[in-house]
């Protein structure tokens, strides 16, 4: 008991001596420089004291836990403040700085378990569905994710006869993407334009290095009007060049089988930074999320340039404002 009291007394004496030394040092420097810029000198002295004594290990509790700042932390915080005042630091660099600050305990960020989606009332805003096959469905889903009016995207299998196809055993199906869209914001014709411009419709049973019947080009239609629009668009595409034949098939949509969860929003899942930014949604929520569909296209850099730039700006703003959860783009 007596030993503990003596130990605490010694600690207090050490703290008082340290403070007196720092005060004398500050006054000495001020006198030598004519008292100019006292505030700046005080900051420099306080920083030098942090470097001299980043955290004494003497068995004593630090004299002021609030004043004890590891040397790396003020530098990183200062860099963040500097970037906000002067230049736009790329968001991945800021993400690295934020990660270090979080690990250091200087910044605490909590992500919610879920993000409330902007639900659409089906009675007032009925959605339509379109299905296309244009090569690997990982890329196909990203192609349509950025369009205004596209609410959800789902990859899956269509165009074949096999029941319950799987990725390793899809039978005669083609890898496809199902698009749920608001017809008041985007028309089937616009989706057709995106379809033709996003793949090589003249390559037989494949797209680029992906070769096989599962990568064939197909427009699936619902009803006679969509079939007519698809046929007209195919004829127009054929007139662009007569040296080769457009191989795209036009089929009435039968059953669409959603693919396994690991294939949904594939490009987005390859970017942990974006996943964390939207709150690390569960698989089912991620598959149905409008925001995830947008960011899936952004992650693959397949959005129109204007949309890519808009999302870039929003992400940078979010980081500068203290990293709230991204809710929409």
pLDDT (tens digit per residue) in 228-263: 999 999 999 999 988 899 999 999 999 999 999 999
Question: Do 258 and 161 share a structural domain?
Answer: yes
Give the per-residue pLDDT at 322: 62
Confidence of residue 87 (pLDDT cuts 50, 70, 90): very low
Give the per-residue pLDDT at 261: 95
Tell me the pTM. Answer: 0.63
Give the per-residue pLDDT at 234: 97
- Domain contains 31: yes
**Centroid of chain to Cα 315:** 8
Question: Do 160 and 286 share a structural domain?
Answer: yes
In which domain, by residue range, is 187 found? 128-301
- Domain contains 27: yes
Would you say residue 194 has pLDDT above 80? yes
Question: Do 277 and 152 share a structural domain?
Answer: yes
Give the per-residue pLDDT at 315: 81
Give the per-residue pLDDT at 312: 86
Question: Do 182 and 288 share a structural domain?
Answer: yes
Note whether 245 and 202 are within 8 A (CB). yes
- Domain contains 146: yes
Question: Do 134 and 49 share a structural domain?
Answer: no
- Domain contains 18: yes
CATH number of the domain bearing residue 250: 3.30.1060.10
Average pLDDT over residues 223-227: 96
Q: How far apart are CA 106 and CA 78, in angstroms?
A: 12
pLDDT (tens digit per residue) in 256-299: 999 999 999 999 999 988 888 888 888 888 888 998 999 999 99
As a whole number of Å, the end-to-end CA separation of the chain is 63
Confidence of residue 58 (pLDDT cuts 50, 70, 90): very low
Question: Do 48 and 136 share a structural domain?
Answer: no
Question: Do 151 and 33 share a structural domain?
Answer: no
Question: Do 237 and 134 share a structural domain?
Answer: yes
Average pLDDT, the chain: 75
Would you say residue 49 has pLDDT above 70? no
- Domain contains 171: yes
Angle between helices 290-299 and 305-320 (to 10 degrees): 110
Give the per-residue pLDDT at 24: 54
Give the per-residue pLDDT at 5: 60
Q: Which two tokens stand for residue 208?
A: 């680029």
Considering only residues 16 and 91, tell me which one the structure prediction assigns the higher pLDDT.
16
Share of the chain above pLDDT 90, in %: 44
Would you say residue 72 has pLDDT above 80? no
Picking from 127, 128, 126, 123, the residue whose alpha carbon sits closest to that of residue 222 is: 128
pLDDT (tens digit per residue) in 133-162: 999 999 999 999 989 999 999 999 999 999
Question: Do 132 and 11 share a structural domain?
Answer: no
How many folded domains does the chain comprise?
2
- Domain contains 60: no
Question: Do 132 and 44 share a structural domain?
Answer: no
Question: Do 47 and 133 share a structural domain?
Answer: no
């Amino acid at each position: 008991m007596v030993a503990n009291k003596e130990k605490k007394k010694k600690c207090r004496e050490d703290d008082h001596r340290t403070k007196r030394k720092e005060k004398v040092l500050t006054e000495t420097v001020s006198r030598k420089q004519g008292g100019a810029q006292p505030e700046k000198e005080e900051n420099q002295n306080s920083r030098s004291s942090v470097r001299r004594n980043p955290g004494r290990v003497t068995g004593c509790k630090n004299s002021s836990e609030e004043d004890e700042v590891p040397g790396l932390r003020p530098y990183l915080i200062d860099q963040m403040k500097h970037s906000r005042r002067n230049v736009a630091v790329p968001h991945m660099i800021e993400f690295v700085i934020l990660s270090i600050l979080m690990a250091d305990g200087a910044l605490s960020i909590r992500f919610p378990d879920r993000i409330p989606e902007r639900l659409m009332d089906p009675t007032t805003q009925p959605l339509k569905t379109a299905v296309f096959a244009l090569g690997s469905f990982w890329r196909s889903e990203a192609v349509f994710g950025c369009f205004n009016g596209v609410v959800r995207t789902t990859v899956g299998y269509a165009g074949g006869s096999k029941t319950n196809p799987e990725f390793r055993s899809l039978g005669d199906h083609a890898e496809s993407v199902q698009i749920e869209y608001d017809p008041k914001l985007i028309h089937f014709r616009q989706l057709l334009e995106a379809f033709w411009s996003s793949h090589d419709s003249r390559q037989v049973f494949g797209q680029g290095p992906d070769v096989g019947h599962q990568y064939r080009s197909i427009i699936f239609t619902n009803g006679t009007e969509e079939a007519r629009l698809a046929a007209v668009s195919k004829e127009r595409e054929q007139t662009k060049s007569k040296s080769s034949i457009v191989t795209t098939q036009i089929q009435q949509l039968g059953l669409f089988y959603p693919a396994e969860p690991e294939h949904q929003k594939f490009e987005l899942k390859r970017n942990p930074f974006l996943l964390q930014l939207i709150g690390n949604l569960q698989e089912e929520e991620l598959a149905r999320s409008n925001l995830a569909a947008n960011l899936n296209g952004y992650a693959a850099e397949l959005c129109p340039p204007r949309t890519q730039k808009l999302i870039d700006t929003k992400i940078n703003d979010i980081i500068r404002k203290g990293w709230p959860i991204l809710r929409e783009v």
